[in-house]
Every structure is written in C-alpha cells, then in structure tokens.
Amino acid sequence: MKTANDLRFVFFGGEPLGVPALKQLAASGLLPALVVANPDRPSGRGKRLAPPPVKEWALENDVPVWQPENFKDQAAVVDKLAAFDLFVVVAYNHILPTWLIELPTYRTLNVHPSLLPKYRGPSPIRSAILADDKAVGVSVMLLDEKMDHGPLIAQTKVAITEADWPIDGQELDMLLVEAGGTLLTETIPQWIAGTITPQEQEHVSATYTKKFSKVDGELAIDPLALPSGEAAYERLLQVRALAGVPGTYFMYQGKRAKVTAATIENDTFVIERVIPEGKSEQTFTEYLRSLHK
C-alpha cells in the first residue's frame, strides 16, 4: 500500500486558487510529480503569450508541467498519466472526462470552496457573500462526471466574525483556499490509507452558482443620492462579493466609475474610493468635486 511519502500525484490547477493550494501541499511535504496547467494565453496590450501562475510556480519548484488544450486523444493522455497514483484538482478550467477521473489507483480528489451541496458551480465564494450567507467552508470530494456532484471525503467550516462581514471576496478567496489546502494535506494520507468512507451528497439540497460578468457588477445607484436601509446593505454585499473580478461600478452622466471600496455609515451606503472612466483611483469626495468643475 502506498503512503504519503511515496505517493506520485498529479495536480490539475487554475487561478486564483491553484498556486496557494500548491504552496500548502508543498509545505506539508506533498509535492506533485506533475502539474497540469491551463495553456499560455495572450495577455496585456501587446497580447504576448503569458504562462499561468500555476505553471510559473511549478517551474520555480522544478516540477514538470503539462498544458494540454483538451483531453480528446485518450490514448495519448493515458500514456502520459497512467503511471500516477492520484489526481488532485483545484480550480482547473477543463472538465475531466470520466475515463480520466477514474484512471489513477486512488481516483481524483477535488477541492471546492463551499459546504457542498450548497453553491455548486463556478462562483461559490462570491455567491455566498452576495446571498449574505455566513456559513462558508470547503469540501474535498471524489470527482465524478457531474458538476460538484461526487461523494464527500472531508469538509470543514470557516468562521467569519460579525465584525468582518460582509467580507471582501478576494479576502475570502484566500481564506478558503488556505482552509482547502490544509484540509487536503490532512485528507490525502487518510484517503490513500483507506480510513475514509466517501459520503454521498444530499443532492436534493443542492444549489447552483453562475459565472459573474460585468453586467452583474453594475450598481443601481445615483452617486448624488446613495441608498439607505436594506438597499444600502444589498449594494454593500454586491461590492464585497464581486471585488476584483468582475468588480462593481455605477454609471453617471454617461460615464462609468468603478467602486473599489465602500462601507455603511449611519445606515447609508457610503462609497469610499472609485476609479472614474479614464482616470486613476481617487476618493469618492474627490470624484464628487470633479463633477462640479
């Protein structure tokens, strides 16, 4: 029987959670034998090909990297991956076919940043904030052919204090990936030792998320008459949930202003910092002054 010390596993990872998970695995002595990363993509104004962060981490740590565009050539993929014991998937952008999921001896484990079966799909962390749901956490499951559907291997809650809620989405990203990495490092040795029995999810309780776009980030507000009460809290949830990507913004006088920081004071939604269209970041007070110039 394999042990964690001689386990040869493949890490399938994407952004933004892949690198933090890799760092935690490596710190615990679980270094992957191969990293499967997304292909290099054009980036920046010059549209030069840029490697994904997961690839950069692997190269810096002398871990071989593979970047397939797809897994259509089954024979070639099997030839590449058949010698490994376990696959671990964290935020990888491709759907793995069933034959690939079942290829290694210890199957394929997936880390999902929600308390499954809640918040299946592409945006579990941000959807929880938007829904004002403080019951957040991470799950390790056996991957199967359906989205976030496989049996649970391990699960843990992450406590967020009332004072920190609603939390910034980017901050919760990192808290949950840290919790997921810790849970994964604890779970892998137990899983390969055969001491964990997978538990079927309660599929009737499943909820689903969507991928957020710029449209979802528009705040229905007038910057000269900011909302109060329940509407204020809803706008704050939106700003915190969609922080970073896709971000939030409002339209005024035909121009877009991105909101980078907001809070609630005296039951009123207060914008603290914005990036007006074509300008650099500034305080909301500076933005209001510029409207009267």
Q: Is the pLDDT confidence value at 2 over 70?
A: no
What number is the average pLDDT over the span 223-247?
95
What number is the average pLDDT over the span 92-113?
93
Predicted local distance difference test score (pLDDT) of residue 4: 64
Predicted local distance difference test score (pLDDT) of residue 41: 86
C-alpha–C-alpha distance, residues 175 and 18, integer Å: 13
Q: Concatenated DSSP letters for the chain?
A: ---GGG--EEEEE-TTTHHHHHHHHHHTT---SEEEEPPPEEETTTTEEE--HHHHHHHHTT--EE--S----HHHHHHHHTT-SEEEEES-SSPPPHHHHT-STT-EEEEESSSTTTTBSS-HHHHHHHTT---EEEEEEE--SSTT-SPEEEEEEE---GGG-SPPHHHHHHHHHHHHHHHHHHHHHHHHHT----B---GGG--B-----GGGGB---BTTB--BHHHHHHHHHHHHHTTTTT-EEEEETTEEEEEEEEEEETTEEEEEEEEETTS--EEHHHHHHHTT-
Predicted local distance difference test score (pLDDT) of residue 293: 66
Domain count, the chain: 2
Residues 162 and 235 in one domain: no
What number is the average pLDDT over the span 191-204?
95
pLDDT band at 109 (very low <50, low <70, confident <90, very high): very high
pTM (2 decimals)? 0.90
Among residues 205, 234, 265, which one ends one of the domains? Answer: 205
Q: Is the pLDDT confidence value at 67 over 80?
A: yes
Among residues 205, 239, 272, which one ends one of the domains? Answer: 205
Q: What is the pLDDT of residues 5-20, one digit of tens each?
A: 688 999 999 987 899 8
Predicted local distance difference test score (pLDDT) of residue 65: 96
Predicted local distance difference test score (pLDDT) of residue 3: 67
Among residues 205, 238, 255, which one ends one of the domains? Answer: 205
Residues 221 and 189 in one domain: no
Residues 8 and 142 in one domain: yes
Predicted local distance difference test score (pLDDT) of residue 94: 85
pLDDT band at 40 (very low <50, low <70, confident <90, very high): confident
> Average per-residue pLDDT in the chain?
93
Predicted local distance difference test score (pLDDT) of residue 291: 83
Range of the domain at 16: 4-205
Q: Which residue, chain included where needed, has tokens 């376990």?
A: 86
